Structure 1
Amino acid sequence: MTINPTFSDATPVAPAFLDDVRAGLSRPQKTLSPKYFYDAAGSELFEAITRLPEYYPTRTEIGILDGRGPEIAALLPAGAALVEFGSGSTVKLRRLLRHLDKLAAYVPVDVSGEFLCAQAETLSADFPHLRVEPVVADFTRDFDLPESLAGLPRAGFFPGSTIGNFEPEEAEALLARFGRILGSGAHMIVGVDLVKDAKTLETAYDDAAGVTAAFNMNLLTRINRELAGRFDLGAFTHRAVFNRQASRIEMHLVARDAQDVAVGSDTFAFAAGETIHTESSYKYTVETFRALAERAGWRWIQVWTDADGLFSVHALRLD
């Protein structure tokens, strides 16, 4: 079955990508947005990360969805359209689908159109009675849902602790944006990683096989390919460290030596040991996430965690 996605009217990705790279590499602490990890290669690498023995979040969240799926599904309205922001693969969605027999439509939203459509087509083939209406969009920007969903109750799905990739004030604004997109009366199911010891966290983001390092380095590969970048990949290395004071894991790309790097018509100087901060993954307690969600306008309903307290899944409602 061929899936025809809806394309948002937001600013095209390429100009935004170039503008963001220029701005990020011009800062005293050089930065690159983690949303640009997810081209087709980056999406595939992230899926490989989720299968690593060191990377506990995916299997732990799946365990919660498997064990508490009926309870989670019972909170969502019958006949709803389920909108998954930054959908990636459908592994977690499938865990819920077995309990959502009255779901009217599934709307995966992702910036990587090729990967999105491939996943949507596979899901549609496996669930032929489910309407699958993918939207190619950057979920950090406002976008419209397909008109065909008019009149349906709305629910959002944001698993994987992706919310942790945003600064807390940005995460609050993002949840508020989801509320505007979904509308009054909507529900949200959000996966949130919890605070824990530094060793567990740092190992999860710097695996022995080097898959996370390749995922991080792919960002430079993408800049070289799409923005006429001149990064020497061998001149940078991956680093992951837990910043306990800020309650976040930080991923960096570290310059091995002093160098100048061209991106398009711009040149950026790196000192030896200087880093590009590519991702922050904030870790919350149940209480701190609840407070954040409520500041964003959502009513917190319930939380489910695993027995070891590694991960949490929260249910929210917009009244």
Structure 2
Amino acid sequence: MQQTKTPSVAVVIPSYKVTRHILGVLAAIGPEVDRIYVVDDRCPDQSGAYVRAHNTDPRVVVVEHAENQGVGGAVMTGYQAAIADGADIMVKVDGDGQMDPSLIPAFIAPILAGEADYTKGNRFFDLEQIGSMPPMRLFGNAMLSLLTKLSSGYWDLFDPTNGYTAIHRDAARHLPFHKISKRYFFETDMLFRLNTLNAVVHDVPMDAVYGDEVSNLKISKIVTEFMAKHVRNFCKRVFYNYYLRNMSLASIELPLGLLMVVGGSVYGGLHWIDSARAGLPTAAGTVMLSAMPILMGMQLLLAFLAYDIASVPRRPLQNRGRLVRSIIARG
């Protein structure tokens, strides 16, 4: 009887100005983890050297960047190192002590069960705990969650900026590491990339833990930089999923709906301006000719939205990978 190999679990810790907390985080990581990668992202405190000098855990490997690449760049470096060493699941944990390492089993459980390719934390699951979140951070997360649902296609997820994540190697090895955003937009861009792979993503409930730290999430960044990137990702996702890789009724509903809404609005707007200049009321027939395509276009856009919501990936990549490997092995 063939024995099943026990999946190897690795933890990736981006390290930048976390010298005060990093050893405590390492000490709290349980025996379910086989390897720990501390990625020194050109830390001014030389946290990589600090870990080498004071760490006693043989599982720890320190990787150093010659230049600062941001949290996304550090995580991608950790993923690639873990994949090269044969890790099956990679868990990303911050080094500042805000993420409880005892939750690692909860994050890897859906992946081990073959139910998900990627898991992420959700601090909004327990309504009693949300009260501890600063109001501005709460508002920012709500805004980002709505935008992320549109751009990523994962309509059943929330709390997109949560950096506590785990990923299966079958999903990670297909990621375009050099294209993923390396700084604040990293977590959201990951979801967009995973959707283009049809990877299954699950939320993992966790408590919101905040002290008196100052949030780096600024509303101005949401409205400007984040908005532009969300629009870009939405357009790419729609093109990939509805025109390049597949065609469906939704592929017709979206452009036709947009055309009718824009056309009706322009037609009605131009005639309203002409009527206002002439000091006359707009004719009822003109109003109807404007309103009808707008209403029909809205119906088509809502139909597209309903189709998109129902199209959230449900079949994990890792299961498809196992099937292919099984067929190859039998052949």
Q: TM-score, normalised by structure 2?
A: 0.29
Higher relative contact order by CA 8 Å / sep ≥ 6: 1 or 2?
1
Higher helix proportion, which one?
2
Higher strand proportion, which one?
1
- Looking at CA atoms only, which structure, 1 or 2, has the larger radius of gyration? 2
